[in-house]
Amino acid sequence: NELKKNKNFSEEEIKLEYDSYLSSYDTTPRRSASHLMLDISSQKNKSEAFLLIDEIKKKLQQGNKFEDLVLEYSEDEGTKNIGGALGVSDGTSFPQEFEIVLKELKEGQISEPVILENSLHLLKLTNVQTPVPESFNSKRGEIEENLIEQLANQEYFDLLELASDLVFSIDSLESLAQKLNAVVRTQDFFSRSQAQGIFENEIVLNSIFNNSSLKEGNISDLIEVDDQTSIILKIEDFQEVETEDF
C-alpha cells in the first residue's frame, strides 16, 4: 500500500492503455434464441416430423404465440416450460446449424425448420446485443488504478528479490530494514496464544515456534505471509516452558 502512494501516470500512458483495451474488446454480437424441437425416432420419422412442423407453422401464421406452441408441441423437456429458451450465444455456444440460421434472422423472427441428426427445430431469435466498450472518461479511473497496482506489484516483487539476497549478507535486522526502507516491529515475550499483530499469523507462528533452524539471534529467510506481506524474523530471546511454583 505504501508503494502505491505518489504514483502518477501521464495522459498519454493512460490513453495507450485505453487503446489496448479497445483493441482487445470483444464486440461480437450476442444472440438470445428459443426453439421448438421435435424428435426424429422410430416413433416419428423425418417425414412425419416435417408434417407436424408444417402444422405448427400454420398455427403461427394464424396468430398463435410461439411460446404457447413450444409448451404444447416441443419435445425438449428441459426448455419447453420456459418458452424454449436456449440462452445466449456469441456464435459458438449453439450447434453450428443454429448459428448460421440465427445470423440471418431479425429480432423476433422465426426460422424455417432446421434439421439436426435426430431432431427438427424451429428457431426464434429473441434478442441481439452488440457489446459497446466503455468511454475513455468512464474507464480512465479504473485504468489508472490498474497501472498503479501493476507498478506497485512490480516494485514489491523487486523488493522481495532484494530482501532474499540481503538476508545472506547482512546479519542485522536494523541494517536490513534501513536498506529495504522497512519497519522493525518488536513484541516482548509471548506464547502462541498471546501473539498479536503480524505475529498472530499461522505461518509466522510456525516459523517462530516450530522452525528449529531459526535459533536465538539468527535472522530468518524471507517469509511470504500472503501476496502483499512478507517478513524477516529474528528471535531476540527464548524461554523454555516452565511450571509456575505454587
Cβ pair 216, 234 in contact under 8 A = no
Instruction: Tell me how many helices (H) and strands (E) the chain has.
Output: 7, 6
Whole-angstrom distance, CA of residue 206 vs CA of residue 213? 12
Query: Residue 5 pLDDT more than 90?
Result: no
pLDDT band of residue 1 (cuts 50, 70, 90) is confident
pLDDT band of residue 244 (cuts 50, 70, 90) is confident
Cβ pair 51, 184 in contact under 8 A = no
Mean pLDDT of the chain: 92
Query: Residue 243 pLDDT more than 90?
Result: no
* Percentage, residues of the chain above pLDDT 70: 100
69-122: pLDDT as tens digits: 999 999 999 999 999 999 999 999 999 999 999 999 999 999 999 999 999 999
192-204: pLDDT as tens digits: 888 888 889 999 9
Query: Residue 57 pLDDT more than 90?
Result: yes
Phi and psi torsions of 129, nearest 5°: -130, 130
Rg of the Cα trace of the chain? 33
176-224: pLDDT as tens digits: 999 988 889 888 889 888 888 888 999 999 988 888 777 777 888 899 9
> 19-34: b or e for each residue (b if 16 or more CB lie within 10 Å)?
eebeeeeeeeeebbbb
pLDDT reported for residue 237: 86
pLDDT reported for residue 217: 75
pLDDT reported for residue 76: 96
The number of beta carbons lying within 10 Å of the beta carbon of residue 101 is: 19
